[in-house]
């Protein structure tokens, strides 16, 4: 407030906190979907590939991909000795999908079978390959129960699309926030200036809708400009706010508008005020406002 007749309301703390929260949320989701598309889902596919090798329990994977090789089945094909099995298993390459885009870009396609399988003769002989998988997943920090099926290339590509949508929303939200931060609403002795707009003289104002002012801090001013009826908003939540410790700047600003206004005011009033036992019934009415 520069003097008793000029009041400025800049973007409120309420708006700034919510703007930061929205921008943070959109940034988080943008990065999350990018992460899933670029490496997250590919890393999960590696987990499916390795579990398939150990257990072969993923029937969906077995039906739809070309790497359904189970170590335990290979073990059962012939009567291996401990040494023969170790020699055979140590020479085998981890089976992978034909589509190389499903696995991480740095995945080594010459990776040999894990040592848990190579040295797992006793467990395989007893048909207890789960213990081998448990030991391996613990050693390499893989989940014991990974994804149920491979993420295909379409699903991976969708993550980039959703990421792009989030980025568009992020830029749009940032644009709106920056625009609001550079604006203010103001009243002077002669009129009201809405955010980003020219001053509206009090004499041009014809009607004020203040039904939402008490609950949402919103009011609509209808005014005449060159014979055309236009409207402007007073947004006390975004600009100024109503904190008592700050002097309730938005309330003071709107109060000065009402003090100078001589047109119609639309507001809610109680029809049955003063009657005991009856519920208050609010209705929309129009009444003449005064200076």
Task: Please answer whether residues 150 and 61 qualify as being in contact, where contact means their C-beta atoms are separated by less than 8 angstroms.
Answer: yes
Residue 165 burial (CB < 10 Å; 0-12/13-18/19+)? middle
Q: Which residue has the tokens 């949320």?
A: 25
pLDDT for the residue 55 = 81
pLDDT for the residue 127 = 83
Calpha distance 258→49 (Å, rounded):
71
pLDDT for the residue 57 = 53
Instruction: Tell me how far apart the terminal alpha carbons of the chain are, to the nearest angstrom.
Output: 22
pLDDT for the residue 129 = 87
pLDDT for the residue 74 = 83
Of 200, 197, 212, the closest CA to residue 268 belongs to: 212
| Whole-prediction pTM | 0.74
Calpha distance 78→88 (Å, rounded):
11
pLDDT for the residue 31 = 98
Q: What are the 10-residue block averages of pLDDT along the chain, 291 residues in total?
A: 72 94 97 96 93 70 54 83 93 89 93 93 88 94 88 95 98 96 94 95 96 95 94 95 92 94 82 43 39 37
pLDDT for the residue 45 = 93
Calpha distance 121→125 (Å, rounded):
6
């Amino acid at each position: 407030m520069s003097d008793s007749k000029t009041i400025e309301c800049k973007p409120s703390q309420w708006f700034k906190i919510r703007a930061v929260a929205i921008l943070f949320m959109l940034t988080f989701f943008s990065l999350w979907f990018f992460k899933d598309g670029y490496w997250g889902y590919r890393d999960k596919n590696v987990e499916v590939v390795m579990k398939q090798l150990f257990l072969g329990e993923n029937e969906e994977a077995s039906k739809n991909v070309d790497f359904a090789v189970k170590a335990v089945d290979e073990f059962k094909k012939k009567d291996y000795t401990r040494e023969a099995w170790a020699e055979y298993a140590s020479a085998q390459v981890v089976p992978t999908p034909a589509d190389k885009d499903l696995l991480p870009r740095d995945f080594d396609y010459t990776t040999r079978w894990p040592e848990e399988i190579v040295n797992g003769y006793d467990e395989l002989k007893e048909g207890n390959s789960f213990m081998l998988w448990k030991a391996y997943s613990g050693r390499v920090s893989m989940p014991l129960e990974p994804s149920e099926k491979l993420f295909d290339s379409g699903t991976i590509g969708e993550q980039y699309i959703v990421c792009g949508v989030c980025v568009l929303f992020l830029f749009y939200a940032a644009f709106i926030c920056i625009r609001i931060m550079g604006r203010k609403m103001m009243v002077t002795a002669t009129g009201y200036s809405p955010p980003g707009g020219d001053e509206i003289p009090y004499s041009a104002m014809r009607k004020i809708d203040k039904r939402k002012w008490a609950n949402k801090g919103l009011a609509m001013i209808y005014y005449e400009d060159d014979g055309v009826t236009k409207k402007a908003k007073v947004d006390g939540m975004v600009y100024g706010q109503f904190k008592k410790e700050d002097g309730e700047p938005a309330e003071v600003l709107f109060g000065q508008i009402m003090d100078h206004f001589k047109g119609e005011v639309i507001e809610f009033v109680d029809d049955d005020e003063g009657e005991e036992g009856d519920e208050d019934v609010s209705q929309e009415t129009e009444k003449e406002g005064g200076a």
